[in-house]
Amino acid sequence: MTKIAIIVGSTRPARAGTAVARWVHEIALRHGDADYELIDLKEVDLPALDEDLAPMLGRYSQPHTRRWSERISPFDGYVFVTPEYNHGMPAALKNAIDFLYAEWTNKAAAFVSYGSEGGVRAVEQLRQVMAQVRIADVGSSTTLYLAEDFVNYTEFRPRPFQEQSVRTMLAELISWSEALRTLRGRSGTGQATLTSAR
């Protein structure tokens, strides 16, 4: 069955991302059609990128990179849950993406963003990054606003129609994830070459 990771992109102590990601996960489990797993970057606890060689080579020298590669490789698609900080994505999320390359390639991604203006500029940046690591990002996304989907800007309480937004996004993500499976099989991408750097 198609495997989808829902990645919490913020590592701040008082982040809203965990509540948002759990909500997406609950909807995904009801939606079905795939296996879903939550991945919290705070628990992954990656340092700033510290590999000597470019991730494109797949020659990882650090144990934490190998663990991250093994965690990400099995998935066919990803939902990135991201806030917007200063018109951009969180540094922790960009860093986590930058550690790897082949593990992302020829897979699909979708976005759930939140912020005072819905996190749309963080998603714009993510779409540029996805292009570079050769992830096919789907057009449908879910945009959450602090003034409308949170009580007092803090307690997550999404408007009812947002669930359908997530369902539409997941349906598109699963379709693209499955369509790209043949391409991954032909090119051998999606698995890193876990050899030691010299």
- HSE, CB side, 13 Å, CA atoms: give it for residue 7: 24
Domain assignment of residue 162, given as a range: 3-187
Secondary structure (3-state) at 167? helix
Q: Is 109 domain-assigned?
A: yes
Cα–Cα distances (Å) from 135 to 130, 140, 164, in that order, read: 5, 15, 24
**Is residue 1 scored above 50 in pLDDT?**
yes
- Cα torsion for 3, 139, 134, 37, to the nearest 10°? -20
Domain count of the chain?
Answer: 1
| CA dihedral for 30, 24, 99, 133, sign (positive or negative) | positive
pLDDT given for residue 195 in this prediction = 38
**Is residue 142 scored above 50 in pLDDT?**
yes
Task: Give me the percent of the chain exceeding a pLDDT of 90.
Answer: 91
Q: Is 197 domain-assigned?
A: no
pLDDT given for residue 194 in this prediction = 43
Q: Is 84 domain-assigned?
A: yes
Mean pLDDT (whole number) for 139-150: 97
Dump pLDDT digits (tens) for 80-137: 999 999 999 999 999 999 999 999 999 999 999 999 999 999 999 999 999 999 999 9
